[in-house]
Structure 1
Amino acid sequence: MDTRYILNTRRHARGAAKPLIIAIIAIIALLVVGAWFLIIKPHQELIMADSGGHPSTPVSARTQVAPPPPADVAAMDVNQLLTEARTAMNQQRYLAPVGNNAFEFYLRVLVKDPGNKVASDALRETFPFAANSAEQSINSRDFNEAQRQIDLLAKADPTNFTLTILRSKLDAQRKTLDKQQQQELDQQKAQQLATQKSAADKQAADQLAAEQQKNQLAEQQKEKSAHATPSANQPAEAAAKPAAAEATAAAGSPTAGGETSDATLLKSVTPTYPSPALRAHQSGWVVVSYSIAADGHTDDIHVVDAQPKRVFDNAAMDAVRRYRFKPAMKDGVAVSTTQQLKIEFNL
């Protein structure tokens, strides 16, 4: 047979087969579309009509107050439970409130009738919308209610991947809230510490100001006392002059009376309180030894003992240095004598 004839025959056969294949594909597509509109879609709408909802109906916020739950749900039969479930679906009570929502009613139906197709199909078809309701509870940070709704969804479809997403989101929201609460606590503690520090600083400043004022008053009183002492001793000094004159006259004439007596203090001086001791509120005493010359002046002044050491020594010796005495007399002649004096420093 001629080869060219065979090739032409095959090309003609392939050309005739192409329109047939296209026609078959078109018929199949028409059958699929027809099956969707005539069988599948009406079946889904029938199921959703029985369950009280529609997959295209978005979940909206509840605008109606949920009716009270049935009196005795456990005693209801399958038909009664399906009726309550449809009512709940119409009111978009997918997962809440507790004991009066569509999912709980459908789950009770499956407990009583495990093979009930209406309940199982309704749970499967409305699962995405119920999950959306649970997500709204998470977003509103009602974590306990969100956890309850997720657990209820898990009873309907424990292997649904949406549950993993919801649980992850719930955990993330809880951690975010915990972090925010911890930050608020930290801020409150920081504010409390700052307030306490401010109060402590103010109290310390007030105490320092009060102490400074007290020291200033003490210094002023001390200065007043120092200025007042000489004037108070002026009569004694005036009296000391004739006494000194008499002593001189007596010294010039030993045979005048032959008087013998101890030295007598004519003028004392209040010691100046050392500023460091005054600031430290420190007290103490000093025992000073000194000689009384024949003219009544003090000489050879030194500290015998003191408590505390070297705090009040100079002040005590300076005061004794300005003392004036009527010298001791022996047989009418002024003589030098030695005495010791304990000077106390008290605030």
Structure 2
Amino acid sequence: MDNRYRFLARRRMRGAVNPVTLAVVVIVVALAVAAWFLIIKPYRDAAEAATPASAATQKSVAKREAPPADVDSLSVDQLLSEARTAMNEQRLVAPAGNNAFEFYMKVLQKQPGNPVAADALRETFSYGAAATEQTINQRDFNEAQREIDLLAKADPENYTLTILRSKLDAQRKTLDREQQQAVDAQKAQQLAQQNAAAAAKQQAEQAAAAEAQRQQAAREQASRVAAQQSPAANAARPAAAPTPKPTSADAEPISDAVLVRQVSPRYPTAAMRANQEGWVDVEFSVSTDGSVSNVTVVDSQPKHVFDRSAIDAVSRWEYKPATRNGEPMTVTLRRRLQFNLGR
């Protein structure tokens, strides 16, 4: 009798399911299903959203500049959808108000601790930092500062922020240095132009002084020649002949050419449009009939801009010829023509 009951008990243990074991299996299955829908699937969705689009996708998808209307009224699911779209379109941290980081942080404002948004911000931080670095390299400093502040809201302790701030400061200093160098170069150029103008003016003054000395020497030489000729002429005359009184020609043996008709030079159209001014030194001959010939340019500033106008004008000048002892003579003169716009 005892053996029969033992046999029945063993058969019941082999064929029947223990209720405790069944309960454990049900709980494990339920936990696995919950983990799939609550943890694994959202994480995979975030990872897919965090992966940058391929080059072909970047070319085919255009960036949306206008943010969705009334972002605050969007639900968490709608914000996550907008964030995934922004990630696919490479709008990580820009433009302002319409980028993935701002959408994910808005999700965390509505639902603190949301695993999808938190994981996405953590996974995409490095990509957002890379985009911000490109903005710094493009020297869009205001936008770069905004993006750095946005990254700091997502992960204020991340060491990458220190690197980005250092790069932004270095780029700003580099731009300031380049701008200062440009200003210094411009000042140096202006100083060089001023020095060149001063040197040209000094050269012109020296040339004018040398011309005046040459003319003075010529007059003195003519006076000496006239003085030497006068005693010989007096000695050749008969003793009884009275000594003639000196004439005005003897007192002033040489008289300078006097300008009687001056033609103003034409202002070149190109120089007028370019707002250019300058001067031209010309040398020319005044013949015995008072006409001008052999007009040449000695110096000019700027070069070759006003030369032709100066030559054409001087060639039409007319003079009362220079004289020596009352006789017309050919002389060489030098004059400077100024070209000013009359401001």
Matches within 5 A, 1:1-347: 46-47=42-43, 49-50=45-46, 52-54=48-50, 63=59, 64-67=61-64, 68-229=66-227, 231=229, 241-242=239-240
Does structure 1 conserve the Cα–Cα contact (< 8 Å) formed by 2:62 and 2:89? no
Task: Give per-residue Cα distances to partners, 1:7-62, cap 9 Å, x unaligned.
Answer: xxxxxxxxxxxxxxxxxxxxxxxxxxxxxxxx99x957742524752458789995
Task: Give 1:218 deviation, angstroms.
Answer: 2.2
The SS at the match of 1:70 is coil
- Alignment coverage as a number of residue pairs: 215
Task: Give per-residue Cα distances to partners, 1:136-161, cap 9 Å, x unaligned.
Answer: 11222222221111011011111111
Does structure 2 conserve the Cα–Cα contact (< 8 Å) formed by 1:58 and 1:129? no
Task: Give per-residue Cα distances to partners, 1:256-308, cap 9 Å, x unaligned.
Answer: xxxxxxxxx9899969xxxxxxxxxxxxxxxxxxxxxxxxxxxxxxxxxxxxx
Q: What is the rounded CA distance, in whole Å, between the counterparts of 2:152 and 2:91 in structure 1?
A: 17
The SS at the match of 1:53 is helix
The SS at the match of 1:196 is helix
Which amino acid letter does the alignment assign opposite residue 66 of structure 1? Answer: K
Which amino acid letter does the alignment assign opposite residue 191 of structure 1? Answer: Q
Does structure 2 conserve the Cα–Cα contact (< 8 Å) formed by 1:226 and 1:270? no
Which amino acid letter does the alignment assign opposite residue 226 of structure 1? Answer: R
Task: Give 1:187 deviation, angstroms.
Answer: 2.2
Q: What is the rounded CA distance, in whole Å, between the counterparts of 1:155 and 1:124 in structure 2?
A: 12
Q: What is the rounded CA distance, in whole Å, between the counterparts of 1:217 and 1:155 in structure 2?
A: 87
Does structure 1 conserve the Cα–Cα contact (< 8 Å) formed by 2:47 and 2:123? no
Q: CA RMSD in A?
A: 3.9
Quickly say closer, same or farther: Cα 1:110–1:59, change in 2 above 3 A.
farther
Q: What is the rounded CA distance, in whole Å, between the counterparts of 2:195 and 2:148 in structure 1?
A: 48
Quickly say closer, same or farther: Cα 1:56–1:107, change in 2 above 3 A.
closer
Equivalent in the alignment of 1:336? none
Which amino acid letter does the alignment assign opposite residue 116 of structure 1? Answer: N
Quickly say closer, same or farther: Cα 1:199–1:244, change in 2 above 3 A.
closer
Q: What is the rounded CA distance, in whole Å, between the counterparts of 1:228 and 1:237 in structure 2?
A: 15
Does structure 2 conserve the Cα–Cα contact (< 8 Å) formed by 1:59 and 1:129? no
Which amino acid letter does the alignment assign opposite residue 49 of structure 2? Answer: G
Unaligned runs of 5+ in 2: 1-34, 253-343
Q: What is the rounded CA distance, in whole Å, between the counterparts of 2:40 and 2:227 in structure 1?
A: 117
Unaligned runs of 5+ in 1: 1-38, 246-264, 272-347
Which amino acid letter does the alignment assign opposite residue 204 of structure 1? Answer: Q
Task: Give 1:91 deviation, angstroms.
Answer: 1.2
Give the TM-score, by structure 2 length. 0.53
Larger radius of gyration: 1
Q: What is the rounded CA distance, in whole Å, between the counterparts of 1:45 and 1:195 in structure 2?
A: 73
Q: What is the rounded CA distance, in whole Å, between the counterparts of 2:234 and 2:73 in structure 1?
A: 120
Does structure 2 conserve the Cα–Cα contact (< 8 Å) formed by 1:106 and 1:120? yes
Quickly say closer, same or farther: Cα 1:62–1:230, change in 2 above 3 A.
farther
Quickly say closer, same or farther: Cα 1:244–1:104, change in 2 above 3 A.
same
Quickly say closer, same or farther: Cα 1:51–1:80, change in 2 above 3 A.
farther
Task: Give 1:232 deviation, angstroms.
Answer: 6.4
Does structure 1 conserve the Cα–Cα contact (< 8 Å) formed by 2:53 and 2:88? no
Equivalent in the alignment of 1:326? none
Task: Give 1:93 deviation, angstroms.
Answer: 0.8
Which amino acid letter does the alignment assign opposite residue 220 of structure 2? Answer: K
